Amino acid sequence: MKIKAINGFKDILPEDIAIWRTIETVCRDIFARHAFREIRLPILEKTELFARSIGEATDIVEKEMYTFTDKKITMRPEATASLLRSFIEHGLHVSRPIQKLFTVGPMFRHERPQKGRLRQFHQIDAEVIGGSEPQIDAELMAMGQMMLNELGLDASLEINSLGCRECRPSFRSALVAFLDKSQDKLCDNCKRRSTTNPLRVLDCKKQSCRDLVADAPSILDHLCDECDTHFKQVQHYLDLFSVRYTLNHFMVRGLDYYCRTTFEFLTGDLGAQAAIGAGGRYDGLIEQLGGPPLPAVGFAMGIERLSLLLQNKADGVTPEPESDIFIAVLGERAEQTGSKLANALRAKGGRCGIDYSGRSLKAQMKIANRNRARLVLIIGEQELDKGEAILRDMQTQEQSSFTLKSNIAENCTELLKISANVLTTTEL
Ligand code: ATP
Ligand code: MG
């Protein structure tokens, strides 16, 4: 019996890698331009960390976590909690007043797998710790937008403010009063949530609940002066940075730790999995986790969803050739020369392929083609006697004779020069 991967856990095959690398390269480059530094975090953390930060009455903590109950440890469902745990543990605030950090890696949530929704998925996560200025929120959204733009993806940005400890309770009571009147019309999930976590009813996906909450009070009418000013400033800076957005007062996000600004990047091209990236401000959380009272804001993008969008694009990502030069060898002596040359070429930075199974020239050319090699150096016994080989340009099909010098370094230099020329002419 064949053993298959676990449902919701997916292999990222060599064919997928070009897209994954493009996403990571573009994002890493943009992080560098914004002075973010990378941090790498463990996949397992104490369960308590997630319960305390994400919130007990959230979908993630209630039903989506992979927990080893006997050991009280959990596979991280998101990155913010782990990043903050590390930030606090190592006192990172001491070295710089504002820490801009990013991390990339797998997250685990026990959800129903479907297109763009997996049980192991990957996030690119960015956090700015130590500043409460609205400029920081706007800059972070502008950075997310820059990533999507540079990947050539269309997305809309929706923003909201969830208020703070001062003003949210009054909104919560107004909402609870509103929901109380229509309990019978809510779905079962929302009936329960209307007492445990009433804000979550606002972003229920069920149409009947959506229709009902259309008339619910808006958080934006309940913001205290400080939160209202902060949110207006965020919008002002988004305008200043030419980032387009719409207000969505139904967006509450599935994690309890958010306050003030929340935002989502959305696409119309992935069905129900519309969110490509999301985040918000979480002033107070670091203190709640036992750290200093520092404000912070962050967001995470889902790499699988970005990758699906790039796959669907006609002018998406072209995979890099696996080798610049393929060495086809015919006979044992040719194989000796060819293999030595291949390894010397690689040491000098050339991408080089070779096949040792003694296949026919035709079969070796097929392999070269699959490798998308631009040049093939054919070494046969007869040519070898004359100190020659045949060089074939795979694009133009032209063949020329290549003189094999006894000095291997000279051969390498010459071949790499020809290969670089071929590459530039093909690119033009
Ligand atoms: P959704 O509403 O789609 O469940 P979410 O609000 O749970 O998303 P976040 O916790 O904000 O998502 O995570 C940020 C991003 O991570 C999402 O915008 C999405 O791109 C990605 N993501 C979240 N859960 C999954 C998943 N199960 N599979 C693939 N990507 C995911
Ligand atoms: Mg979710």
Ligand 1 lined by 85 (C-beta under 6 Å): no
Kindly compute the dihedral angle of the four CA atoms of residues 252, 253, 254, 257, in this order, to the nearest 10 degrees.
Answer: -90
Distances (CA, A) of 27 to 102, 261, 262: 10, 22, 21
Instruction: For residue 331, give both structure tokens.
Output: 């006979």
Where in the chain are the domains? Answer: 14-167+223-312, 325-419
| pLDDT for the residue numbered 426 | 57
Q: How far is the CA of 147 from the centre of ligand 2 (A)?
A: 22
Q: How far is the CA of 231 from the centre of ligand 1 (A)?
A: 24
Share of the chain above pLDDT 70, in %: 99
Upper half-sphere CA count for residue 13 (Cβ side, 13 Å): 1
89-98: Cβ within 8 A, 24+ apart: 92/129, 93/129, 93/130, 93/291, 93/292, 93/294, 96/130, 97/130, 98/128, 98/129, 98/130, 98/131
End-to-end CA distance of the chain: 51
Render pLDDT for 384-426 as a digit per residue (tens, 0 to 9): 999 999 999 999 999 999 999 999 999 999 999 999 988 676 5
Asked if residue 249 has pLDDT above 90, the reply is: yes
Per-residue DSSP letters for 167-206? THHHHHHHHHHHHHHTGGGS-HHHHHHHHH-GGGGGG---
Alpha carbons 106 and 162: distance in angstroms, whole number: 28
Q: Are 197 and 58 in contact (CB under 8 A)?
A: yes
Query: What sign does the dihedral 14-15-21-27 (CA atoms) show?
Result: negative
How are beta strands 246-247 and 325-329 bridged, if at all?
unpaired
Alpha carbons 61 and 383: distance in angstroms, whole number: 69
Instruction: Supply the angle between the helices 80-89 and 47-54 in degrees, to the nearest 10.
Output: 110
| Average pLDDT score over residue span 238-265 | 93
Exposed / middle / buried, residue 174 (Cβ in 10 Å: 0-12, 13-18, 19+):
middle
Say which ligand is closest to the CA of 116.
1
List the one residue out of 260, 243, 255 whose CA is nearest residue 296: 260
Question: What CATH fold (topology level) applies to the domain 14-167+223-312?
Answer: BirA Bifunctional Protein; domain 2 (3.30.930)
Q: Are 381 and 334 in contact (CB under 8 A)?
A: yes
Ligand 1 lined by 118 (C-beta under 6 Å): yes
| pLDDT for the residue numbered 125 | 98
Ligand 1 lined by 265 (C-beta under 6 Å): no
Ligand 1 lined by 121 (C-beta under 6 Å): yes
**What are the backbone angles phi and psi of residue 172, rounded to the nearest 5°?**
-60, -45
Question: What atom in ligand 1 is closest to the CA of residue 277?
Answer: 18
| Average pLDDT score over residue span 3-15 | 96
Alpha carbons 407 and 75: distance in angstroms, whole number: 55
DSSP 3-state of 161: strand
Ligand 1 lined by 307 (C-beta under 6 Å): no
Report pTM.
0.92
Place 291 in a pLDDT band, splitting at 50, 70 and 90. Answer: very high
List the one residue out of 82, 131, 169, 147 whose CA is nearest residue 281: 131
Render pLDDT for 330-379 as a digit per residue (tens, 0 to 9): 999 999 999 999 999 999 999 999 999 999 999 999 999 999 999 999 99
Distances (CA, A) of 427 to 412, 421, 422: 22, 10, 9
Asked if residue 231 has pLDDT above 60, the reply is: yes
DSSP 3-state of 142: helix
Q: How far is the CA of 168 from the centre of ligand 2 (A)?
A: 23
Ligand 1 lined by 278 (C-beta under 6 Å): yes
Render pLDDT for 103-131 as a digit per residue (tens, 0 to 9): 999 999 999 999 999 999 999 999 999 99
- For residue 291, which amino acid is it? G
| pLDDT for the residue numbered 315 | 80
Ligand 1 lined by 273 (C-beta under 6 Å): yes
| Average pLDDT score over residue span 266-277 | 93
Identify the CATH number of the domain defined by range 325-419.
Answer: 3.40.50.800
List the one residue out of 150, 133, 140 whose CA is nearest residue 34: 140
Longest CA span, the chain: 94
Asked if residue 37 has pLDDT above 80, the reply is: yes
| pLDDT for the residue numbered 58 | 86
Render pLDDT for 143-167 as a digit per residue (tens, 0 to 9): 999 999 999 999 999 999 999 999 9
Asked if residue 428 has pLDDT above 50, the reply is: no
Q: Which strands sit side by side in the sheet containing 352-354, from one edge to the other?
A: 352-354, 325-329, 375-379, 388-393, 399-403
Asked if residue 427 has pLDDT above 70, the reply is: no
Render pLDDT for 177-218 as a digit per residue (tens, 0 to 9): 999 998 888 899 898 888 888 998 998 888 889 888 899 999
Question: Mean pLDDT in the chain?
Answer: 94
Place 56 in a pLDDT band, splitting at 50, 70 and 90. Answer: confident
| Minimal-distance CA residue to ligand 1 atom 11 | 278
Helix (H) or strand (E) holding 31: helix 14-33
Share of the chain above pLDDT 90, in %: 82
Place 172 in a pLDDT band, splitting at 50, 70 and 90. Answer: very high
Alpha carbons 247 and 270: distance in angstroms, whole number: 21
Asked if residue 22 has pLDDT above 60, the reply is: yes
| Average pLDDT score over residue span 66-81 | 97
Q: How far is the CA of 57 from the centre of ligand 2 (A)?
A: 14
Q: Do domains 14-167+223-312 and 325-419 have the same CATH topology?
A: no
How are beta strands 325-329 and 352-354 bridged, if at all?
parallel
